[in-house]
Amino acid sequence: MMAEYTVIRDIDYYKESIELLYRITNNNSYENLKLDMLKRLEEREHAKVIEQLDKLSKIEEDIKREIDITHMDIQFYFRRFVTEDLCIAKILYQSMIHTVFQSDTKAIKNYIKQSFQNIKNDNTLQLSLENYEMAVSKFENNQVMPYTDRIGNLECEAAQKWQILDLIEHSDEHLDRLFPILEHTISKMKKFENILEELKKESCDYWEEYFKKNEFMKLINIFFNIKEDSFPTKPAYIRPQIMNYNKVLLYGNDENAGDYHILDVGITFDCEFRATKNTLTKEQLCTGLKMLSDPSKFEILRFIKDKRAYGQEIASELNLTTATISHHMNALITLGLINLEKVDNRIYYQTNKEAIYILLEEVKQTLF
């Protein structure tokens, strides 16, 4: 059965401005990204990368002149927080990345505040910090845990737990501080609206043509090495991302998560051009090493290195909850360190030894 596919053409300026300010604040310039990608990609791909990243560099340099990155609020909301690619602003806005509706600023802020209230009030929700968000999932077996204990169990420093607690308790005040920064940045970005819309349109046109002939899970197999029949057929939304230029992120990739899939795909990608899968940036090397150094992720990879296993089986063996296994698997999937296969309506995981070999070889070449 052919699923419904929708390519989102509207630019989410709030999300794009958060990503741009994150890059500026943490000195992750598009110029450096261009130099890194040109070293790693085949020559046939260079022209596209140069053209696109030169345009983004122009926008980045203009915005840098318009904002004071030393300002207390800029540093608080956009400097790196706990993990690579995460900051306070992304945590505040995270509920919106799991939705596909467009609305006005007031409705967006109300939706975010309600999402944080739900996190606070629902003691069945387990929290964890991933690379791109504070992930939320249900505890297994109807387990409940008090709000402060759930915050306390986050894997971060005590001061960072207090910051997250403050975000949830006072989300309205934080949104009132954050949104003026975003709106000021957006007003400056819109000087380049024609460039942004051109970049978005090119990517959207490509994906609309692609899905006239191809299934969504075929693309997921290409990007994440997930077997094409390993997840149920659902409506899928494809959101080309401009400022998050070289990332591909999948939401709703758990068989029990949501009524639809969402794929955020950087505008550099097409169905064959896999810049972050064929080669690893320095950022990805660090992320990969961090995953291997995490005791739980390391034990998962070790347990399934020579055999495939499903989530409950891994959870029982390692004395972890299935929700925790799901969080770890999502992170490992993103970097391609595990393979998935669906057999008899059950999803099995197995270590992708080739991907780990490539990761370790690139570390070796970088350091030796």
Give the mean pLDDT of 101-105: 82
Residue ending a domain, among 199, 225, 259, is: 199
Is 346:340 a contact under the CB 8 Å cutoff?
no
Is 337:356 a contact under the CB 8 Å cutoff?
yes
What 3-state class would DSSP assign to 263?
strand
Same domain (yes/no): 195, 286: no
Same domain (yes/no): 192, 289: no
Is 81:120 a contact under the CB 8 Å cutoff?
no
What 3-state class would DSSP assign to 135?
strand
- Nearest residue to 121 via CA among 88, 169, 153, 158: 169
> What is the number of other CB atoms lying within 10 angstroms of the CB of residue 241?
24
Residue 121 pLDDT greater than 80, yes or no: yes
Residue ending a domain, among 199, 216, 233, is: 199
C-alpha 22/C-alpha 20 separation (Å) is: 5
Same domain (yes/no): 195, 329: no
* Domain around 179: 10-199
C-alpha 140/C-alpha 170 separation (Å) is: 29
**Is 193 contained in some domain?**
yes
Identify the H or E element spanning 52: helix 46-66
**Is 270 contained in some domain?**
no
| Residue-wise pLDDT tens digits, 236-284 | 899 999 999 988 888 864 444 467 888 999 998 887 755 444 456 666 7
**Is 221 contained in some domain?**
no
| Residue-wise pLDDT tens digits, 205-236 | 999 999 999 888 888 777 776 776 666 678 88
C-alpha 196/C-alpha 62 separation (Å) is: 14
**Is 229 contained in some domain?**
no
**Is 363 contained in some domain?**
yes
**Is 240 contained in some domain?**
no
**Is 248 contained in some domain?**
no
- Nearest residue to 163 via CA among 69, 229, 81, 226: 81
Same domain (yes/no): 56, 172: yes
Is 13:6 a contact under the CB 8 Å cutoff?
no
Residue 326's domain is classified under what CATH number?
A: 1.10.10.10
What radius of gyration, in Å, describes the C-alpha atoms of the chain? 20
Tokens of 238: 């494809």
Residue ending a domain, among 129, 164, 199, is: 199
| Residue-wise pLDDT tens digits, 277-325 | 445 666 677 778 888 888 888 999 999 988 888 888 888 888 877 767 7
pLDDT, averaged across the chain: 86
Same domain (yes/no): 291, 189: no
Q: Kindly report which listed range (1-5, 188-192, 208-212, 235-239) carries the lowest average pLDDT score.
A: 1-5
Tally the domains of the chain.
2
Same domain (yes/no): 31, 150: yes
**Is 288 contained in some domain?**
yes
Same domain (yes/no): 192, 340: no
CA 199 to mean position of chain CA atoms: 20
Question: Residue-wise over 339-362: b if at least 16 C-beta within 10 A, else e?
Answer: bbebeeeebbbbbbeebbebbeeb
| Residue-wise pLDDT tens digits, 322-364 | 767 777 887 787 777 888 776 766 778 888 887 888 788 888 8
Quick one: pLDDT band at residue 192, thresholds 50, 70, 90? Answer: very high
C-alpha 362/C-alpha 244 separation (Å) is: 23
C-alpha 178/C-alpha 89 separation (Å) is: 7
Same domain (yes/no): 164, 304: no
Tokens of 254: 């758990």
Tell me, what DSSP letter sits at residue 237?
E
pLDDT at position 230 is: 66
